[in-house]
Structure formats: C-alpha cells, structure tokens
C-alpha cells in the first residue's frame, strides 16, 4: 500500500469516527469522550445528545487541549448550569481568561468551596475571595452568618469589620480567623461594649496576651473585664495601661485600685 492509500485510509477512518461522534447516542458518547484525536471529542461537543453529564466526565480528564475549553465556552448551551461553571473554574487547565469570566457568574457559596479546595492556585483563591468580598454588602444576614462560619481568613475578616453582634460571634469561632484580625477589630471604631465582651468571653481568644491588652486599652470595654483580667497582669503592665490617654476615668480608677492605690471615698 502506497502513502496515498494509507492517507486515504486514515482520512476515511477519521471521517467515520467524526460522524459517529456527531450522531452517537447518550451512552455511546461516554466512550467517545476518551478518544483521540481531539477532533473526535470536539465533534462530540456538537452532538445534540451531549449534555451536562457528559461534560462533567470530560472535565475530569487531565491534559485536555485548550481547543476543548474554547469550544465548551463558545457553546453557550453547555455552560448555562452552575455545576459546569464550577467544574471549569476548578479545572487547573482552564484558560485563565475563561476561568476569570466564569468566576463572576458562580454563586457565593461555590466561591467559598473554590477557596477551600486543596491545591487550588493562589491566583484563583484570591480572585474567588475578592468576588465574595465584593458581594458581601448585598448579602442577607443569613448568608453572612454562613460565610462567617465557613469563609476564609480574608472573608471572615471583612465580616468581622462590619461589627454586627451575631456576625462577630460567628466569626470568632471560624478556624481561619487570625489573631491580627481580632486585634484590629477590637481597636477599630466599629467595636462596641457588646462585641468587645464577646471577644473577652471567647474561649479561643480571651487567654491571648495581645488580645487581653487590646481589650484593656479600649475605652468602650466594660469594667467587668478589668476586674477579671487585671489580677493576672504584672504591675509594670498595669502601669503602662495607666498611660493610655484614651481610657476613661473609671477605667483608670480600676487600674489604680489594682496597683493598690485606691483613693479614699469623699
């Protein structure tokens, strides 16, 4: 057989496989998805029987060429569903411009899932976090409560800054919350006597020296926390607290009493 005959045979075989990919039934399509060359899988995408289930199977494959992703993205009927958009964004081989566009179309809890996927790229995680944070102002309290419990450190820090008591309580139990964020919250103008007390009662945070000091330096801190925290502090620390200018007169009186310098009553 000469070269021309071989080429003709190859072309005929490929033509048959392409036709089969275009006309196969739902069950047959699952087998075609693993075929090479890529032209066969591209043809399968145009098969009217090709649906979300086939596409999810295809997207689990590694080493997919960029042409596949471009064809999927161009076929609007294939990317209408949330699960498909989610699978595309999660696939590390999805071209960056496609993933970035689809990221903005995911629901907020799918974005949280993306942030927590092991091995997700730092760029993808940051983009997902940014999209979540941008949407926070429009979210109902119920959604914010869920995000406060499940969100990443950047998300929970944004929610904590809102200073809403139920959110603060949920944020304090989030394992991703960092000490620096709690310290920043205590010193911010959004903290109140109520939310400061939430931090002071928290089993996770109340024993941390820097958090205790931040609580004791806040003029909105209720007197009870001075009563409870001062006995465990060295005198040098209490003297330093006395020099904090924004503390109230009543708070400084409690500090003086702790040093043994209680003033006589008039």
% of the chain beyond a pLDDT of 90: 73
- C-alpha Rg value of the chain to the nearest Å: 30
pLDDT at 1 over 90: no
pLDDT digits (tens, 9 = 90+) for 223-260: 999 999 999 999 999 999 999 999 999 999 999 999 88
Q: Which pLDDT does position 4 carry in this prediction?
A: 43
pLDDT at 5 over 50: no
136-157 burial: b if 16+ Cβ within 10 Å, else e: beeeeeeebbebbebbbbbbbb
Side-chain half-sphere of 175: how many Cα atoms within 13 Å? 2
pLDDT digits (tens, 9 = 90+) for 186-212: 999 989 999 999 999 999 999 999 999
Separation CA 29–CA 51 (nearest Å)? 10
Greatest Cα pair distance in the chain: 118
pLDDT at 119 over 90: no
pLDDT digits (tens, 9 = 90+) for 142-158: 999 999 999 999 999 99
pLDDT at 262 over 50: no
Q: Which pLDDT does position 261 carry in this prediction?
A: 54
**Three-state DSSP class for residue 181:** helix
- The least confident of 4-8, 82-86, 195-199, 251-255 is 4-8
Quote the strand ranges of the chain, DSSP E: none
Q: Which pLDDT does position 92 carry in this prediction?
A: 86
% of the chain beyond a pLDDT of 70: 94
Separation CA 215–CA 225 (nearest Å)? 8
Q: Which pLDDT does position 76 carry in this prediction?
A: 85
For residue 70 the two structure tokens come to 């471009």
Q: Which pLDDT does position 9 carry in this prediction?
A: 46
For residue 24 the two structure tokens come to 């196969």
3-state secondary structure 66-112: HHHHHHHHHCHHHCCCHHHHHHHHHCCCCCHHHHHHHHCCCCHHHHH
Contact between residue 59 and residue 94 where contact means Cβ atoms under 8 Å apart: no
pLDDT at 134 over 80: yes
pLDDT digits (tens, 9 = 90+) for 158-172: 999 999 999 999 999
H/E element, 21: helix 3-23
Q: Which pLDDT does position 215 carry in this prediction?
A: 98
Q: Which pLDDT does position 264 carry in this prediction?
A: 40
Cα three-residue angle 127-132-135, rounded to 5 degrees: 125
Nearest CA-CA partner of 174 in 182, 183, 185, 163:
182
Quote the mean pLDDT of the chain.
90
List all residues 6 or more positions away from 204 whose beta carbon is below 8 Å from its beta carbon: 172, 173
In this prediction the pTM is: 0.81
pLDDT mean over 24-35? 88
Q: Go through the chain and tell me how many residues it has.
A: 266
Distance (Å) of CA 79 to CA 74, 85, 106, 146, 152: 9, 6, 11, 27, 27
Q: Which pLDDT does position 123 carry in this prediction?
A: 87
Domain ranges of the chain: 28-106, 139-221, 223-266
Mean pLDDT is highest, among 30-34, 113-117, 184-188, for 184-188
């Amino acid at each position: 057989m000469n070269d021309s005959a071989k080429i003709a045979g190859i072309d005929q075989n490929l033509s048959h496989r392409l036709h089969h990919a275009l006309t196969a039934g739902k069950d047959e399509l699952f087998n075609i998805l693993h075929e090479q060359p890529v032209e066969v899988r591209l043809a399968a995408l145009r098969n009217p029987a090709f649906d979300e289930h086939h596409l999810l199977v295809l997207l689990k494959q590694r080493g997919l060429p960029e042409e596949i992703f471009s064809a999927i993205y161009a076929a609007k009927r294939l990317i209408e569903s949330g699960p498909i958009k989610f699978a595309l964004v999660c696939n590390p081989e999805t071209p960056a411009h496609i993933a970035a566009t689809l990221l903005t179309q995911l629901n907020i809890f799918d974005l949280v899932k993306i942030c927590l996927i092991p091995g997700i790229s730092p760029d993808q995680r940051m983009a997902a976090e940014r999209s979540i944070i941008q949407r926070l102002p429009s979210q109902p309290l119920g959604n914010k409560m869920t995000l406060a419990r499940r969100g990443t450190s950047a998300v929970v820090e944004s929610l904590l800054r809102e200073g809403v008591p139920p959110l603060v309580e949920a944020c304090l139990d989030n394992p991703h919350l960092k000490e620096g964020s709690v310290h920043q919250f205590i010193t911010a103008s959004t903290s109140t006597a109520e939310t400061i007390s939430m931090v002071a009662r928290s089993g996770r945070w109340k024993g941390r020296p820097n958090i205790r000091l931040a609580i004791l330096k806040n003029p909105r801190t209720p007197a009870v926390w001075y009563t409870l925290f001062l006995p465990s502090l060295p005198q040098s620390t209490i003297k330093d607290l006395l020099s904090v200018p924004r503390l109230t007169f009543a708070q400084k009186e409690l500090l003086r009493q702790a040093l043994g310098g209680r003033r006589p009553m008039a």
